[in-house]
Homo-oligomer: A and B are copies of this chain.
Amino acid sequence: MTVKITDVARHAGVSPSTVSYALSGKRPISAETRARVEASVRELGYRPHAGARALASSKSNVLAMVVPLRAGINVPVVMQFAVSAVTAARAYDHDVLLLTQEEGEEGLRRVADTALVDALIVMDVQLHDPRLPLLRTLDRPSVLIGFPAEPAGLTCIDLDFRTAGELCVEHLAGLGHRVVGLIGSPPEVYVRQTSFAQRVVQGFTSAATRNGMSSTVHPCEATPAAARTVAERLLREQPALTGVVIHNEAILEPLLDAFEHLGLRIPTDLSVTALCPDTLATTLPIPLTSIAIPAAEIGEQAVHLLMRNMNGTPAPQTTLLPPRLTVRGSTARRVTG
């Protein structure tokens, strides 16, 4: 029924190993033989059996990818990670197996120990992620999207959130703003210690200090009511406020509304910068100057890193992608009275 390597070998008048080598390129094959083999492959429609290949080579050419699904995560962004990872994996002739967060450590162990996959991609890594000890003991390389407290022995990649925080402040400083505020992620995010939230705060604060700016930080629940409260408090505490950085995509719109209701025009009275997906930044009533999460790039890079680790070229332990700030309509030079 299905054609196998011996069929191709016979058809091309060569040995099975020659067919194998002609296809893998793992040893020199004369142009002529290779051509005959390739012709036979095409003619017979030969496809190597994945299981047999995996058994003989101890390489499945499959990567595992764990996708998070709990509340508070941005699903479209996760999907971008996933799709770009799959696309990148295909470029290396690999496929991607989908695991849910729910499967937990047992799932990771299972796919690794059964040799179902050659390597693992783990998204949404926590500061003290219970999966880390396990990943370190697995005989297969893995790459984490996010940053744990103790990345030793692991390969991590993420957006450079600290620099992102700095960049927002520098942008505002360059426009003459002197008093700025950060409206941060919901408390859950800090509690979960997904770490990126803290890193933004650090960047924000240090850049403000460096520029001699007055600054405050306000974590904020993801509800419209909380948004209004925070906006009011911000203005009460810093009446001279002319610039804000928002790192809370769920309440961008309510916040903008709140500021307008408080009599602040954007960007005339108040410049706003955000850390959020581009799709959000561009579809709000006021296009937002923002730094996007380069999900596609992260997914792709994660696969590159894995491949490097599998090729013996050890990848750097830590990869921080440079944030890029896109200026849109929500920031302007401070009007000096």
Q: Are B83 and A113 interface neighbours, CB within 8 A?
A: no
Contact at B114–A86, with CB atoms within 8 Å? no
Q: Which of A76, A78, A87, A95 has the most CB of B within 10 A?
A: A95
Mark interface residues in A73-103 (1 if CB within 8 Å of B CB, else 0). Answer: 0011011001100110010000111111011
Residue pair A54, B50 in contact (C-beta under 8 Å)? yes
Is A136 interfacial (CB-CB < 8 Å)? no
- A206 and B103 CA atoms in complex are apart in Å by 46
Q: Indicate if the CB atoms of A51 and B55 lie closer than 8 Å.
A: yes
- For window 51-66 of A, CB contacts with B under 8 Å fall at 51-55, 60, 62, 65
Report how far A110 CA is from B75 CA in the complex, Å: 29
A109 CB to closest chain B CB (Å) equals 8
Q: A48, B2: Cβ atoms under 8 Å?
A: no
Residue in contact with A115 in the complex, picked from B45, B49, B116, CB distance below 8 Å: B49
- Point out residues on A near B: beta carbons under 8 Å: 1-2, 45, 47-55, 60, 62, 65, 67, 69, 75-76, 78-79, 82-83, 86-87, 90, 95-100, 102-103, 110-111, 113-116, 139
Give me 7 other A-B pairs in contact (C-beta within 8 A), A55-B55, A82-B98 excluded.
A47-B110, A48-B114, A49-B115, A50-B60, A51-B115, A54-B55, A97-B97
> Would you call B50 and A116 a contact (CB within 8 A)?
yes
A86 contacts B100, CB within 8 Å? yes
A50 touches B97 (CB 8 A): no
List, in ascending order, chain B residues with CB within 8 A of A102's CB.
87
CB distance from A61 to the nearest CB of B (A): 9
Task: Judge whether B100 and A98 touch: CB under 8 Å.
Answer: no
Instruction: Out of B2, B67, B83, name the residue touching A69 (CB < 8 Å).
Output: B83
CA distance A199 to B7 in the complex (A): 49
Q: Which A-B residue pairs are the 6 nearest by beta carbons? A: A51-B54, A47-B113, A51-B55, A50-B116, A75-B76, A50-B114
Contacts of A45 in B (CB 8 A): 113
Specify which chain B residues have a CB less than 8 angstroms from the CB of A76 in the assembled complex.
75-76
Given B2, B53, B96, B110, which contacts A113 in the complex, CB threshold below 8 Å? B2
| Chain B residue contacts of A113, Cβ below 8 A | 2, 45, 47
